[in-house]
Each structure stands twice: as structure tokens, then as C-alpha cells.
Structure 1
Amino acid sequence: MRIQFTALIAASLITAPSLANADEDQRVPRLDHAFVIMMENHGYQQILGNANAPFITRYARRANLATNYFAVGHPSLTNYLEIVGGSNFGVTSDNYPNWHHGPNNPNLVNPIVGTGMDVATPADTAPSNVAIPSAYYTAASIGDQLAASGMHWKSYQEDLPATGADKVNYSDGVFSNLDTIVDQAKVQKLYAVKHNPFAYFDSVQRGDNPNNSLANVVGFDGLDGLYADLRAGALPQLSLIAPNQCHDMHGATGGSALCTDEASTIRMGDKSLEKLIAAIKDSRAWHEGNNALFVVWDENDYSATPNQVVVIVDSNFGAKGTQSNKPYSHFSLLKTLEAGFGLRCLNHACDNNVSVMSDLLARH
């Protein structure tokens, strides 16, 4: 029955965009590659113009900036799931996965599968301070959609151990929660599975489709890592890129004191983004076809409402210097990616008040 259900879901994911969205979707150019770089836990006002973020401030002016973009609730994992799947799928924690349907544990997140009801988002953390009611969801992500339509995705996770992502909750790039011979208290949590949303889906944990499995989750280094793929110009259609928790502005204890200092983490995040964006733009793949790059903060730091965050949009085909005040959210980002790849909208990305970010991807 699970195989039959999966086949039905897969068939429903590859249908062309519905007529209700067709006119809007056509305003987004067909994308060959999209890069989504995830940053962490800082609101709009904390980043732009910050003396510790000079590159980001310049880049926001030179590329395109969404000035009215909102995260969807808290905490981090919830927002990551909403970016790739258009729903929180009932997950309102940063808890580790209950890998491969292990023994039931209320402190773990069961693999996301089937259908269900998500959790309502209260107004104080919802886009534009408008509460999002609970709704039915289909347990699928844009990764499922891409795989079902013959396209590819990768989740590039800095400091993922070389052994891969399966059952890894955290890692310093060498040791992880799976290593019983080391003092776990000394393992700095640079890679964090909560920043790797695809790993929470049952389809990815099972890996029945090799193009939609944990093998798609790789590090920054190594033969199949981000920098090797960029040098080779061999990129999937969708690249989700998550710097480690020292480089994404989140911060992490147990290592360098710089990783716990607010000014230093912003500075490290600024430098990390500069390096990543330069590598992407130096890649042959960036110069072939239509390619878009999104720099996204997952949420603010809980210190202010509404939950406004910085989103910078760049492309190799579009106009530069655009600032859009249209109300956008993580659901808009998902809907924009789906439109660019010719996919149907998923879950809350289909809501009537969710628009594609067409003005930030307008051609010259």
C-alpha cells in the first residue's frame, strides 16, 4: 500500500501548474538552476547596514532585495520545512528525526509521510501578522517533485561527516553523534540536521528513488561536495546550501569563542556568503541557461515582531537593483522555485495570498 500511495503522490507532483496559477507562473522564467543559501536567526533590521556585514549590504543593493519578506513562525526547522514543502507538517520544534520510524519517542520527529493537518501559525510570528490556520498537507517536498519529474536536487551541508547524513543529528565535520568513542560533550555541533529539511521526509530516509534519497545530502568538500560540483559545472536543478552554525550567523558553543560572539558570527556569515557567492558565479553552470540565487534568513531572533527577514534575489538574466515591497514569505519562495521548474504548488504555497516573486526575477 505504501508503494501504491507513493506512486499516486508522485504522479500528482509532476502535473503542470494549475490554470489558476498559470498566468502568474509564466512571469517567472524557466530556471535551469536555483541556489538557495540559508542563513540564520537575524531579523531584517539586524543585517542590512550592519558594520559587520559589509558584503551583504553591498550585495543587497547590487542584486535585488525583498523589503517586505517574512518568515513563517519559529523555530528554525519549521521554517526550513515551509521553504521546501509549504507546511510545517505539524512540526513546531527543532528536534532530531526519529530515523527510519524507530521506536516512538515524543522528543523526536517521526518521518514525514502521508497526509495530515499542520499546526496553525499565530499572528505574532506569521507573515504580515496574519495568523495562518491549520490546514491539510501532503507529505512531499520540492525534492519529491523534482525527482518525480526527472530533475535533481542536492542539500549541501557544511561539516557533514564524510560518512553521509543517515542518522547524523550533528557533527563537527569529523565526529558526530554516531561516534561512541569520543566525548559527545566535546563535539561542536557545526552541522545541524535541523538545517537539513529533506532528511525529515520518509521518502528521503527510505530512498526508494535514488534521486530522492539521503545520498543527495553532501558536504561542501569532497568529490561530490559543493565546491567540486561548482568546479565541474555539474549542478542539480536545486541546490539548498547550508553553511555550518558558525558561518550561517547562528552560533555554536563548544569551539571557537568567535562562534558565540554576536558581532563575530555576523562577520563570519558575511565572509562565508561572499566566498559562496563568488564560487557560484565562477562556476560554468552559472553562465549557462537561466539561473537564480536566493540568500534567505530562516527567521529573526525572537526579539521582534513581525518576523521580517532579509531575502536577496540574484540571477544571471535579470535586472539588478530592484527593491520589492510586495508581501512575500517562505511560501512565496517555494512557489517561485516551483514555477521556475514547471511544478505544481505544494500545500500553503497554493494559498490565494501567496505570490511568486516575479518582480525580483524580471528580465533586463
Structure 2
Amino acid sequence: MALTAAFAATAGLLAGAQPTSAQPTSAQPRAARTVSRPAYLPATKHVFVINLENKGFDETWGPASQAPYLSTTLRAQGNLLSQYYGTAHNSLPNYIAQISGQGPNPQTQGDCQAFSNFAGSGTASPGQAVGDGCVYPASVPTLPGQLEKAGLTWRGYMEDMGSPCRHPALNAQDDTQKARVGDQYATRHNPFMYFHAIIDSPTCAANDVDLTQLHTDLASVGTTRNLTYITPNLCHDGHDSPCVDGSAGGLAAADAWLRTYAPLITSSPAFTRDGVLIITFDESDGPQTDATACCGEGPGPNSPLPGISGLGGGRVGALVISPFVRPDTFSSTPYNHYSLLASIEDLFGLEHLGYASQAGLNRFGLDVYNR
């Protein structure tokens, strides 16, 4: 049942837009400290995020969608956020936004063809490292760092990655920019690899792993991380069409992948107890197709146009499925990837990083957690 007009009219309150955390003023490392959780938030301990690739809202969720399982079957199980937007073009800065609140710079907008170190010249509000490059210094905080300091757990699951914590050598060309038969992993879709605080840590190999480990980890609540972040390979995320192995790819391939992995998550003990699953897309089709924005995040100190030809990554939509969400509902509250980061931080009682701390940014509220 859709939200009533009266309910939607109160979205400013229900979306949880009121800021609760101070904006960072420097990129110096700091201990993650808990903050007051808004009273309306569900008592979840397990968040699951799946990112698909490069599809606008109408193509995915419209009546002619090539992903009927996602747009019809899964959509009936959850809450469709119809005004959810990417924050940049091309792919990489959207992933980075979701785990750090950092805005794009010219190299991340170009998907970091070379795995270069970030060269900075200070900081700017809200919590932005000023400069250009790919791998942020250890002083730039991340959501995984917050979780670890709060005694919580996380794990990234990357299809086809093989070796854990896999990334190019520093300042070398990224050889995962194009898929190869048997290896369709893309470093640029694995945001954890772009922070020295993560890749230089001895725990990186334990926390950034191949997707094949997901089945084992979901078997019990005790082995399921508080944050489970999943990236399919370049064929199964809808990016390539056709795929390097000769299959069709596109939304149809993403839909087939979801038929396997979405039920694996939603039937797991941790999800059924207190889980929240978010399925979204990094960006719309591209900067020449849709570079719109929703939430005042640009221009940033490193890029006057986060979307290359506009201020955002376009309207993509997101689906939230949870025991705390009524099936077959929708929210028209404007959200973006920074909203997602802030909403995850809210659930775990963490301060907001970077653009997630922007005053007035909508965070998931009772329009989403409506059960």
C-alpha cells in the first residue's frame, strides 16, 4: 500500500533531515564516538548494501524494465525510494561517497585509470580533503573505520576479485578497467581500495573478500557482519552489455544475479532478525544522459560539476527491504548516496562524515521505516 498524501506531506520530519552531528573541520583521524540515535529508527544490527551499475530510474523501475524480478517481485517486498540520486559521474566517486562522504575530484571522476595517491592541499567544509587523486591518505575517515572503532564489524564482498584486498600497485595503471574472461572484477567498484586507512591495514584481507565467502558468512547471526557491502562483477552488475564472455549482460544479467543473491540475504538469520537491505545503482546511464542532483551536494572544492555535465549522478532509485519496512510502499523524499551513508551511520549511532554531515540532508526516516 502506498504512503498516503498526508503521510508524505510530513516527509521533512519523517525523513529524519535534522542534523545531529558536528561537521568535520579537518581530515585528522579521530575515534568514532557514538551519538544519540533518533528514536524513530529501528533496532537493526545488520545492514546489507548491493550496488548495480549505470541505469536510470525509468529504465530499471518502469513498465518496460528488463529486470522484472527486481522491478516487480523484489519491489513488492519493500519500499521504493523514487527520488534517490547518484552523486557524481562516473562510477567511482559514487562508491567513495557511500563509505566516506568525500566528493569527487578529476581523477575519481575519470574512474582512476591509474591507481594514484591523492595529493592534497588541506581540507574544506564539510570534511572534504582538498586535492586530486585516487587513494586517500590514512587521515581521511571512513565508515569501516568508524565501525571498527565502535566495536562493530564490516565486510566487502566483491565478485571475481579472487585474492582479498585486491588492487593495482600504487601509481600503476589499473588493469581491471576492462573485463577479461574469468576475471570481471573492477577495482573502481570496490570503494574500500581507495583509502590507505583500509588497504594498509592488516585486517584488509579479512574484511575485503571474494563474493564466494558470502554464503558461509550468512549462515548464522554470529558470522554476519554489521555492514555487508556487495558488488557483483562487471557482467552481473548490469555494466557490460554484451559481456566479455559472450552473454547478454545489462539489466537482464543483474536481474538473474539478484534471483540468487537477494533471497540468500533475505532468508538469512541476521536479516530476518533485524536486517535492512538496500539495492541501488551507482549512477544513471552517464553524464550526457542524466547528471541531475537532488540534495545540494555540489559544486565541491575539487570539482565544480560533480556530474561532469551537471551537479549529480542522475536519478536511479533505491529499494529498501526489511522486517521494519512495509511491502509495496514508496517514498518520494529526495535522497542520494550521502543520505545512504548518513542513514547507515544513524542506525549504528555514528557521527556523519563529509557530505553526509551536510545540514538539511535527508536521512531515512519513517517514510522508509514505515512498519
Give the aligned residue type for 2:197: S
2:71 aligned with 1:64: no
The aligned runs of 1:166-245 (5 Å cut-off) are: 166-168=166-168, 189-207=183-201, 210=203, 213-221=204-212, 225-233=213-221, 234-245=223-234
Matched-pair contact (CA < 8 Å) for 2:165–2:199 = no
**Aligned-partner Cα distance in 1 for 2:127–2:201:** 29
Report the Cα offset of residue 108 of structure 1. Answer: 2.8
Matched-pair contact (CA < 8 Å) for 2:52–2:237 = yes
Structure 1 residue aligned with 2:11: none
Cα distance change, pair 319–92 in 1 and its aligned pair in 2 (3 A): same
Structure 1 residue aligned with 2:282: 298
Deviation string for 1:289-316 (max 9, x for gaps)? x210000100011223421002000112
Structure 2 residue aligned with 1:287: 272
2:30 aligned with 1:10: yes
Report the Cα offset of residue 148 of structure 1. Answer: 0.8
Deviation string for 1:34-83 (max 9, x for gaps)? 00001000000111123421111112233101111111111111000001
Give the aligned residue type for 1:245: L
Deviation string for 1:186-232 (max 9, x for gaps)? 55651111011011111111105x3xx242111121xxx11111134
Report the Cα offset of residue 146 of structure 1. Answer: 0.2
TM-score by length of 1: 0.75
Matched-pair contact (CA < 8 Å) for 2:127–2:354 = no
Report the Cα offset of residue 114 of structure 1. Answer: 10
Indicate which of 49, 58, 78 corresponds to 2:93. Answer: 78
Give the aligned residue type for 2:239: H
Deviation string for 1:219-267 (max 9, x for gaps)? 121xxx1111113442110011001111000017773222xx4xx4211
Higher helix proportion? 1
**Aligned-partner Cα distance in 1 for 2:315–2:104:** 22
**Aligned-partner Cα distance in 2 for 1:80–1:235:** 22
Matched-pair contact (CA < 8 Å) for 1:322–1:360 = no
Matched-pair contact (CA < 8 Å) for 1:26–1:339 = no
Structure 2 residue aligned with 1:128: none
**Aligned-partner Cα distance in 2 for 1:240–1:33:** 11
Give the aligned residue type for 2:145: D
Structure 1 residue aligned with 2:143: 142
Report the Cα offset of residue 10 of structure 1. Answer: 3.4
2:333 aligned with 1:326: yes
Indicate which of 32, 40, 56 corresponds to 1:27. Answer: 40
The aligned runs of 1:28-107 (5 Å cut-off) are: 28-48=41-61, 49-58=63-72, 59-88=74-103, 90=105, 91-95=108-112, 107=114
Structure 1 residue aligned with 2:14: none
Report the Cα offset of residue 109 of structure 1. Answer: 3.1
Matched-pair contact (CA < 8 Å) for 1:245–1:252 = no
Matched-pair contact (CA < 8 Å) for 1:85–1:140 = yes
2:361 aligned with 1:354: yes
Cα distance change, pair 54–93 in 1 and its aligned pair in 2 (3 A): same
Matched-pair contact (CA < 8 Å) for 2:276–2:321 = yes
**Aligned-partner Cα distance in 2 for 1:148–1:114:** 27
Matched-pair contact (CA < 8 Å) for 1:64–1:312 = yes
**Aligned-partner Cα distance in 1 for 2:331–2:118:** 37
Structure 1 residue aligned with 2:5: none
Give the aligned residue type for 1:92: Q
**Aligned-partner Cα distance in 2 for 1:321–1:344:** 31
2:261 aligned with 1:276: yes
Structure 1 residue aligned with 2:295: none
Could you list the runs of 5+ residues in structure 2 that have no partner in the other structure?
1-25, 131-138, 293-313
Structure 2 residue aligned with 1:121: none
Matched-pair contact (CA < 8 Å) for 1:62–1:320 = yes
**Aligned-partner Cα distance in 2 for 1:69–1:93:** 23
Report the Cα offset of residue 318 of structure 1. Answer: 2.6
Give the aligned residue type for 1:93: G
The aligned runs of 1:155-170 (5 Å cut-off) are: 155-161=156-162, 163-168=163-168
**Aligned-partner Cα distance in 2 for 1:316–1:255:** 38
Give the aligned residue type for 2:317: V
Matched-pair contact (CA < 8 Å) for 1:153–1:237 = yes
Cα distance change, pair 73–320 in 1 and its aligned pair in 2 (3 A): same
Give the aligned residue type for 1:359: L
**Aligned-partner Cα distance in 1 for 2:82–2:49:** 18
